[in-house]
A and B are shown apart, each in its own frame.
Chain A
Amino acid sequence: MGGFTTILGMTSVRTTLRPPRHQFDARVKPWWRAQLALSYGVIVVPLAVLGLLIAPARWWLLGPAILFAVIGLASMALPAWWHRVHRWEVTDTAVYTLTGYFWRTWRVAPMSRIQTVDTTQGPLQRSFGLSTVVVTTASSAGAVKLEGLEQAQAEELAARLTELTDATPGDAT
């Protein structure tokens, strides 16, 4: 099996993981930016408002508000980069994803072990026409999330996955 070729082949052949084929829909970039804007806004806006209202503590409040606003603005560059990094692929036998750059994680969930396929769509996601497909296995660590698929594509994919997993026998443990 593969294990034996390893010993012989370690010096001559290098095995690597190829990246999954697909990128997420380009609309994930504005969606991620909106999420970032919201999470920073929750901090910045109250601080700024309080800073303008409470004169004695003005700079103690406006200072952090400006700091967070700058960090928030800088983080707007991240989604474009994430979009390049995060990838996904569904073959006839497995779901395969790659996430992260500083901490890269490849996940493989075989079709035969998939238990449930869910599509979810938050209010923010809906406004961008995006959906999330969550594929769970019987392992507490095995869930694979495809965040930011185009809505129709997500539904089609979920239907296909459900069909494929229904066709595979076994109790998936």
Chain B
Amino acid sequence: MSDETTAAEALETEVPGAPWLKLHPDGLKATALYLFGAGLVIGTPIAFAIATGSLLLALLIVVGGGLLVIGAVLAYEAVRLRATRYRVTESRVEMVTGVFFKTRRSLARERIRSVDLSSNPLERAFGLARVKVGTGETGSGSGSSTERTLLLDSVHKTEADRLRAELLRRAAAETGPDGEQRLATWEPRWLKYAPLSFLTPMLAGVVVGAVFQVADWFGKGGLPVEIVAGLLEEYGPWAVLGIGVVGLLVIGAVGSLVLQGEAWWNHRLDREPGGTLRVQRGLMVSRSLSLEERRIRGIELVEPLGVRAAGAGRLDVVAIGLKTDQEGSDLSTLVPAAPLAVAEAAAEAVIGPIAVDLAPHPKAALHRRVRWGVAAVVLLAAAAAAAHLLWSLPALLSAAVILAAVLGSAFALWTAFDSYRSLGHATSRGYLVSRCGSVRRATVHLDRSGIIGWRVRQSLFQKRMGLMTLDATTAAGRGHYAVIDADEHEILDFADGAVPDLLRPFLVRDEPHGG
């Protein structure tokens, strides 16, 4: 405790040569417990696997080896904990670390855009938290492509909270403390949307892979196939296929439920005094993300197919310094899959009114999509036919191939119409609004002042159909947001209207018939 009080004093006085602070020593205990747990989980199967003669000998080898590794890692960790120092001065956050080489990282405080706290169950038991300070400098092209971040692993929870408040406090003085404002609160019944996400089929696939992997470990790689073949003989192909698919999906749904439940339990979205948004969530690993509002360049309402069918959607933020291009990253999510009205209300709380009529895209965009759909149907039919002509397929495989081809064709055609219905764009207040996608329908509201360039694209096919794709580039989120397949003339006027004077010098307006 005495450590913390000195830390607090140091931060409050804010002398330029603020004293250096250390990480919390309990971090070592958490790491040790984690390593022993992991050693047990990994070591036990290894001991059984290598136990050809006596189990005792195998255990001795594994325990000895395990202890050696754990000891080495702990020694490294202990040195790292002792060697790491950090401090917050008036203008910078600095950290010195390194076991073999001293590295010094220094971030300008005015560039800090997010402070991210997280703690896993072990760390929570010790009252610890990891603090990740992000500047969001991604430097495209020539510069370094890695985001400049500073990670304190780990400090006491109270110290973490103070750091968070301290580092994002700058703007607080300007607005004055007006208390926290709750923008959205997660409800357990929203979990019903979890099985509808794409995690479900993905996890089902993972389960199939895992079964084969485990069977392979025990030297019986062919066993799952034999079992399925046995079932086939007894019950026939359609029953096995049907029950198999349903069974796998149920497993996937349960897995998805567990993962999403863990990630979003007790989620809440707050606006804190000083103009920051804060997302807190997590059942086992508690996570907290604080985000400066002046870094926000818009929002994205994302409606993945299954979730959309249930009338729900999720709210992502488009912010500078939050990378969203990583697959499966939920860092930028402000509100997980929730009833659409709730997600929209949260969006309005973040950026203001979002209701707007989207201009539909030309019919040519629909024709283009239907063509893709028909091409997909032809390909699927040809592939299914070829598979049957080339090999004499067993009953189950044949059934699976036909089923997949029929379902795939139906989906390809449906998605052609659906994705056309999704297309739309508009400008409202300070925002450019664009919607697209069928499997993952997303409506982005992009702050027009955050648009830092245009990329206009037109393939030869688009040119023949009078279509054009407009990409607004921005420093936030994915880096660019597109209006796909719009009318080739109208979209240029639209771009010109959205960001005055940027495209104007390069536009020519002429009468259609030689005028």
- Chain A positions within 8 Å of B, measured between CB atoms, are 1-6, 9-18, 20, 89, 91, 93-94, 96, 101-110, 113, 115-116, 118, 134, 136-144, 172-173
Judge whether B452 is part of the interface by a CB distance below 8 angstroms: yes
Q: B492, A140: Cβ atoms under 8 Å?
A: no
Check A2 against B497 for contact (C-beta < 8 Å). Answer: yes
Contact with A along B482-495 (1 / 0, CB 8 A): 00000111101110
Shortest Cβ distance from residue A146 to the other chain B in the assembled complex, whole angstroms: 13
Of residues A102, A118, A137, which shows the largest number of chain B Cβ atoms within 10 Å of its Cβ? A137
Q: Contact between A3 and B512 (Cβ–Cβ < 8 Å)?
A: no
Interface contact B497-A15, CB-CB below 8 Å: no
Give min CB distance, A108 to chain B, whole Å: 5
Q: Number of B interface residues, CB 8 Å?
A: 50
Given contacts A16-B492, A18-B506, A173-B475, contact A138 B452 (CB under 8 A): yes
Contact of B457 among A89, A96, A104, A144 (CB under 8 A): A104
Q: How far is the CB of A41 from chain B (nearest CB, A)?
A: 29
The CB with the most chain B CB atoms within 10 A, among A13, A118, A172, is that of A13
Main secondary structure of the interface of A (DSSP, over half): mixed
Given A1-B497, A12-B511, A102 contacting B452 (CB threshold 8 A):
no
Q: Chain B residues with Cβ under 8 A from A109's Cβ?
A: 452-453, 473
| 5 A–B pairs (Cβ distance < 8 Å), ordered by A | A16-B507, A18-B508, A93-B502, A140-B138, A143-B140
> Which chain B residue lies CB-closest to A91?
B505
Shortest B505–chain A CB gap in Å is 6
Residues from chain A with Cβ under 8 Å of B454 in the complex: 106-108
Contact, CB under 8 Å: A139 / B453:
yes
Distance (whole angstroms) from the CB of A131 to the closest CB of chain B: 14
> Which of A15, A110, A143, A173 touches B493 (beta carbons < 8 Å)?
A15
Which residues of B line the A interface, CB within 8 A? 138-143, 320, 325, 427, 450, 452-460, 463, 471, 473-476, 478-480, 487-490, 492-494, 496-498, 500-503, 505-512
A19 to chain B, nearest CB (A): 9
Closest to A116 in B: B142
Residues of B within 8 A of A140 (CB): 138, 140, 325, 478-480
Q: A12-B511, A110-B453 are in contact. List 12 more A-B contacts (CB 8 A).
A: A1-B497, A2-B493, A3-B498, A6-B494, A9-B493, A18-B508, A103-B458, A107-B456, A118-B141, A118-B142, A142-B479, A142-B480
CA of A139 to CA of B297 in the docked complex: distance in angstroms? 12
**Contact yes or no, B480 A139, CB < 8 A:** yes
Option from A5, A96, A103, A106 in Cβ contact (under 8 Å) with B459: A103
Is B475 a contact of A10 with CB atoms below 8 Å? Answer: no
For A173, the chain B residues whose CB sits under 8 A away are: 320, 450, 452, 475-476
With CB as the reference atom, state the residue of chain A lying closest to B137: A138
Assess whether B456 is in contact with A17, with CB atoms less than 8 Å apart.
yes
CB <8 Å contact, A172 and B493: no
